[in-house]
A and B are shown apart, each in its own frame.
Chain A
Amino acid sequence: MKVYQFSEQPYYPTWNDHSGSLRVILPNRKCDPHVAADLFHRYYDEYQLCDELGLNVMLNEHHQSATCMSSAVVVGLSILARATKRARLLVLGYPIGHRPDPLRVAEELSTIDVISRGRLDMGFIKGIPYEIAASNRNPTELMDRFWEAHDFILKAMTTHDQNFNWEGEFFHYRQVNIWPRVWQEPHPPVWSTTGSTAQARVLGERGYVMATLGTGFGTRKIFDAYRKAYLAKFGKAPGADRFAYLGLVAVSHDEAEARRRGQIIAGYLRTSAIVHVPFRNPPGYMPVEDNARMLRGETPPRGFTKDRRPLNIHACSTEDLIDAGILFCGTPDQVYGQLVEFCEHCGGMGNLLMMGHGGELTPAQTVDNLTLFSREVLPRLEAYRQPDAEAAAAAVAA
């Protein structure tokens, strides 16, 4: 298993001073740039520590938000492309449907790939509903733009001998020839995220690395949808390396300290949905059928515990989060055991996107969390033998 450390780079000093929305409308007056600078420097120090510890790094972006200061992820990628030596750099992701100019995206990512000497993993995402307000992109056509941008970026990265023309529905270029060309051939690995079986099938047909977040012990059905589509397309089972899962991780030799850390890191979940109601569900972001159900007041729970107890992951207890496979928390032995149990549930999961920092976890706690994990859990995960991929796929096909 590979492990990527992830932090939302939160501006947590405002978390108790937000008048009901940490995103979109929280005035940036509440952001002290001196405090933000200190936080950024600290977060990048911790990413560099990951590089030394043998952990990879995942970066993301959100907009107009105190939950995540990384609003232009290419900035973070640029810093780390130069400042790290070994870590793979996963962007998960780049909200390409929102971007006005996919040529620019192709240039940015190719440059990152070259400066890092081929360490870029390239996650393309739709973006959560709250991002629409910042980009003002029409939510009803976001996915059409996403796929056209995707097609364009990959063509730009894989065309080396002559300029090409692109006159699509959304993007128009007549002389495309990006410099520098990508380091990894034919292009950096493509990743994406989803929470739905429908999109999992789409990703399976393309063989991209698929990540889920907060799906806990409901993850298997999403992975199986991918397996089925992948098997039908490629005639073989997808390896565990095609699957990724974002889990919160808190580890300490002192179980009580691990719980404290887990509680703090879970502040991410408790704050991530504090958003002024109208921005939570822009028109066209979800299918009409889902919106009709919501109008009737029917909102299915997103999270489940192992024994299929529904959970509100934004408000439940630390223990519930552990039971749900959302937080992996305890001593190194316990965390390893929880992760293995989760991998078995998934039928194989080869990339742990580890939120080893969240909220107000102090620098000392974070450094200890990452260091202990890399010394006592990571080697065992790297040696761990994943469930048999063919058996998992055969069970789905049957």
Chain B
Amino acid sequence: MLQAARSGEGSLVVEGLRVDMIERGSGSPILFLHGENGIEPALAAIDELAKTSHVIAPTHPGFGGSELAPGMRSVDDLSYFYLDLLDQLDLPDLTVVGVSLGAWIAAEIAVKSAARMARLVMANAVGVKVGTRETRDIADIFAITDQEYLELAYCDPNAGRRDFKALPDAEVHAAARAREATARFAWSPYFHNPRLKSRLHRIRMPTLFLWGVHDRMLSEAYGRAYCAMIPGARFEPIERAGHFPDHEQPKIFAERVLAFAGGK
């Protein structure tokens, strides 16, 4: 039996590891797993979801103010952390929603055990390789300038721009930590697990792929190919959004998630 318990406001201890956690709203539970850009850009979407549901949004180990366990090096490691977290929270009829890196984590959880998941939403998900070894499925975001990244990742590049000179220290620190943590978990193999593809057939729960169609870090063809690997998964484009539809279209994103969670 797991020993961990809830700690102070805004954080949770799982198997001795303390992570930041936002908990808002009431209703059916949603576990929200943020993308590689950290939790801050997802706050508007979390608020939208919390209008009619109980949202639990942890900050992944290594991101924001969350601790990182020694030896935690892969999304596989993160998925085991979340399996422990799900056991601890014991949430019935849970919808798990992941964006990009968070969607990869969600898939890695689901192939291991779907016991505590009722349905899955994958938004602009990374995690698999669909092309040949010489095809760059996922843009090399560490080899391009900040401006080039904004143009690839966002429908409106200004949406992703942040003025670090004006932001509070904690947020600047979180941005620096997000970049490092992303590399820790996704450097090589780059944003994917070569083993995941052959395991996706194990995901037999209702699954929705949401796709910000202006994402040029990933292609829509990549998203559709990924979606086709999960039995019965549905693909829904989101207009006027890039790689982070939760950030660029929080209302539409939340509507789609809530409709799906409500059985529509």
Chain A interface residues (CB < 8 Å from chain B):
133, 136-141, 169, 276-279, 282-284, 288-289, 291-292, 295-297
Contacts and interface: CB of A to CB of B under 8 A. Distances in A.
B171 to A, nearest CB: 10
Given A138-B188, A296-B165, A297-B165, A284 B180 contact: yes
B187 A140 contact: yes
A292 B71 CA distance: 24
Residue picked from A136, A282, A292, most chain B C-beta under 10 Å: A292
B111 to A, nearest CB: 23
Nearest to A295: B164
A148 to B, nearest CB: 13
A279 B141 CA distance: 11
B186 to A, nearest CB: 9
A278 to B, nearest CB: 5
B67 to A, nearest CB: 13
A279 B164 contact: no
Contacts of B175: 292, 295
A292 B171 CA distance: 9
Interface in B177-234: 177, 179-180, 182-184, 187-188
A164 B235 CA distance: 54
Given A138-B188, A296-B164, A278 B183 contact: no
Contact of B172 (A136, A277, A282, A292): A292
Contacts, number: 58
Interface string B55-99: 000000000000000010100000000000000000000000000
Contacts of B73: 138, 141
Interface residues of B, number: 21
Interface of B: 71, 73, 142-145, 164-165, 169, 172-173, 175-177, 179-180, 182-184, 187-188
B62 to A, nearest CB: 9
A133 B165 CA distance: 29
21 contacts: A136-B188, A137-B188, A138-B187, A140-B180, A140-B184, A279-B143, A282-B142, A283-B142, A283-B179, A283-B180, A284-B180, A284-B183, A288-B173, A292-B169, A292-B175, A292-B176, A295-B164, A295-B175, A295-B176, A296-B164, A296-B165
Contacts of B143: 133, 276, 278-279
Contacts of A137: 188
A171 to B, nearest CB: 15
B176 A291 contact: yes
A140 B188 contact: no
Contacts of B165: 296-297
Contacts of A138: 73, 183-184, 187-188
B164 A282 contact: no
Contacts of A169: 71
Contacts of A291: 176, 179-180
A355 B259 CA distance: 68
B145 A283 contact: no
Contacts of B188: 136-138
A288 B182 CA distance: 13
B180 A278 contact: no
B183 A282 contact: yes
A291 B177 CA distance: 9
B45 to A, nearest CB: 24
The 6 closest A-B pairs by CB, nearest first: A283-B183, A291-B176, A295-B164, A138-B187, A140-B184, A292-B176
Given A284-B184, A296-B165, 9 more contacts: A136-B187, A140-B183, A283-B180, A284-B183, A288-B180, A289-B173, A291-B180, A292-B173, A295-B175
Contacts of B169: 292
Contacts of B183: 138-140, 282-284
